[in-house]
Amino acid sequence: MNKILVHTHGGPDALRLDDVPMPEPGPADALVAIAASGVNFIDVYFRTGFYPAEQPTAIGSEAAGIVERVGSEVTGVKPGDRVAYTMVRGSYADYAVVPAAKLVPVPEDVSLDLAAAVMLQGTTAHYLTRSTFPLESSHACLVHAAAGGLGSLLVQMAKARGARVIGTVSTQAKAALVRGLGADETIIYTEQDFETEVMRLTDGRGVDVVYDSVGKTTFDKSLKVIRPRGMMVLIGQSSGPVAPLDPNILNQRGSLFLTRPSLGHYLSTREELLWRAGEVLSLVGSGELKVQVSQTYPLVQAPQAHRDLESRKTTGKLILRTSH
């Protein structure tokens, strides 16, 4: 079977398509024939070695497909079930062995492509807007990279909570897309200073929370647009890691809260996984949550998918398809 592995950390060409033996499920596992795998920045971090892992390094952290076989102790899923999962590396492959407790059912009205596209970023947007900073109608939030895979879901979920949403984007086309998803205002950061614009749009008050997946190039200014006792939620570093921080800056900016959350900590039990993923997939099926799949690639073109993702010129989600 085909599987993308990284034998030496590096650029997109470090992603190598290898022919590997078919994996065997353990007693509590299921063998999943993968139909589609989502492409995420966390995959880039493992490819480059920014996130350490054993080598050869398996890449890919979300997928959807069909259960092929199950282990002797598995009762919750059976062969033929349509399932999706996240937070198990190695989804850039034809098949994957996945702990059965990590699998969630995919409703019939949701395609496997959409399920693969929404598992990691959809559950992330869910916990960010429902748990990390539970948004309400009285809140205003700033979403960086609002046209991206995560950003576009955050915009929609924040609006569903009744919050005022300001999104930063790089082009007029992306601004139109984000407004179409419900954003109240957009800031084209290539033409406007987002700090100045946010403070103007909020009459000098600032936003209650910033969701920042960009990191290095946005972090310092983001702290300046948060109202006193507001929250900075750092959820990625697509522009590079944030420099070391003197905690006193949080005091100077207004007794701010700073968090760097991780999806794994918000999917700590199977019950939590089923709650978050179940709500997300239900919203996708009903059409209330629009998933922007901008491009699909065959598995062999994983390097090109990474080039496109890192260019920050894409909108929505990129997915890899297998031959299944």
Q: How far apart are CA 24 and CA 176, in angstroms?
A: 47
197: three-class secondary structure by DSSP: helix
Non-local CB neighbours of 286 within 8 Å, separated by 6+ positions: 109
pLDDT grade for 324, boundaries at 50, 70 and 90: confident
| The two three-digit tokens of residue 294, written as one number | 């901008």
CA angle 93, 97, 102 (to 5 degrees): 110
Percent of the chain with pLDDT over 90: 92
CATH 3.90.180.10 maps onto the chain at: 2-120+266-321
pLDDT at 97 over 80: yes
pLDDT grade for 236, boundaries at 50, 70 and 90: confident
pLDDT grade for 289, boundaries at 50, 70 and 90: very high
201: three-class secondary structure by DSSP: helix
pLDDT grade for 291, boundaries at 50, 70 and 90: very high
pLDDT at 285 over 80: yes
CA angle 65, 68, 70 (to 5 degrees): 115
Q: How far apart are CA 204 and CA 227, in angstroms?
A: 9
pLDDT at 316 over 80: no
Q: What are phi and psi of 249, to 5 degrees?
A: -65, -30
pLDDT at 64 over 90: yes
pLDDT at 101 over 90: yes
pLDDT at 280 over 90: yes
Pick the CATH number of 2-120+266-321 from 1.10.20.60, 3.90.180.10, 3.40.640.10, 1.10.10.60: 3.90.180.10
Please give the mean pLDDT across all residues of the chain. Answer: 96
164 with 132: CB under 8 angstroms? Answer: no
Q: How far apart are CA 100 and CA 113, in angstroms?
A: 20
CA angle 151, 299, 273 (to 5 degrees): 45
Q: How far apart are CA 47 and CA 40, in angstroms?
A: 11
Query: Tens digit of pLDDT for each residue in 136-181?
Result: 999 999 999 999 889 999 999 999 999 999 999 999 999 999 999 9
Written out in words, the top-level CATH class of the domain with range 137-260 is alpha beta
pLDDT, average across residues 307-320:
87
- Give the model's pLDDT for residue 284: 97
CATH 3.40.50.720 maps onto the chain at: 137-260
pLDDT, average across residues 7-24:
97
- Give the model's pLDDT for residue 71: 97
Q: What is the pTM of this model?
A: 0.93
312 with 238: CB under 8 angstroms? Answer: yes
pLDDT at 109 over 80: yes
Which range, of 185-194, 235-244, 289-298, averages the lowest pLDDT? 235-244
